[in-house]
Amino acid sequence: MCELLGMSANVPTDICFSFRGLMHRGGRTGPHRDGWGITFYEDKGFRTFKDPMPCYESPIARLVQDYPIKSRAVIGHIRQANRGHVALENTHPFTREQWGQFWTFAHNGQLSGYEKLLKPGKHRPVGDTDSETAFCWLLNELDRKYPRKPADMKALFLYAGELCGRLNDFGIFNMLLSDGRYLLAYCSTSLHWITRRAPFGKAQLIDEDVVIDFHQETTPHDIVSVIATLPLTSDEQWHALTPRHYRLFHYGECIAETGV
């Protein structure tokens, strides 16, 4: 299996602390040695860093860890390959253009019979993973329902959550999806979240003896939600998503939670 990392914030925020915890699980404290990637949104653009090397051994990952890129939406992933060979094209997150926006997706799990999802549509997979195939199917289904960009993006993401329930029928489908403003987190087996807001305190990573004082790094108005496969800190109250449920975040706040 793989591990996911997501962030939704109301102000541009760096994710160096959380990424540092995830990085250790990519080859040091965890078995996820088959590549890693992370996407940061900045206004209408995005930056993606990927490497098929283990995250803990990757010079690019060390750059990301030390480079405080500020973003309102982030999706990260460390991979333990089960569908598709270890290669850059199979490394998450995956990004596509839809309705004049960049959409980013990462998946943790394993699907069977996913070849049925390979239907005609605008989006086609480049690599040979079940994850990218599912992402293309998801966007193509959204494209069929919404030939033009809808005014109500919240409704679109709620429909995307329903589609995730259909994908979950193919196996294990823990997923993060974002257009840079909204972030959808769907839980199949394991996904956790935490929302940090004033008064901010300290937190210690589980995978490394590192402590951060968020009070020194934030303002009283900041709202930052972090989503991860497993909790990243040992002294905060993380919440487990219920399987076959999803949460929709918008600039740090959870604006919808629905069961499928």
pLDDT tens, 98-124? 999 999 999 999 999 988 888 889 999
* Model confidence pLDDT, tens digit, residues 60-79: 988 998 889 999 999 999 87
Q: Where do the H-state alpha helices sit in the chain? A: 16-25, 59-66, 130-145, 153-168
Q: Give the separation between CA 206 and CA 202, rounded to whole angstroms.
A: 13
For the question of residue 2 being annotated catalytic, the response is yes
**Mean pLDDT score, 173-179:** 98
Q: Considering the chain, what is the average pLDDT of its residues?
A: 90
Q: How far apart are CA 252 and CA 181, in angstroms?
A: 10
125 within 8 A of 136, measured Cβ to Cβ: yes
Q: Is the pTM of this model over 0.85?
A: yes
- Neighbouring-strand partners of residue 177: 105, 184
Q: What is the 3-state secondary structure (H, E, C) of 173-199?
A: CEEEEECCCEEEEEECCCCEEEEEECC
3-259: CATH number: 3.60.20.10
Q: What are the tokens at 57?
A: 């051994």
Using one digit for the tens of pLDDT, what is the confidence trace for 186-213? 999 999 999 999 888 888 888 776 777 7
Q: Which of 2, 55, 136, 164 is catalytic?
A: 2
From CA 104, how far away is CA 180, in angstroms rounded?
A: 8
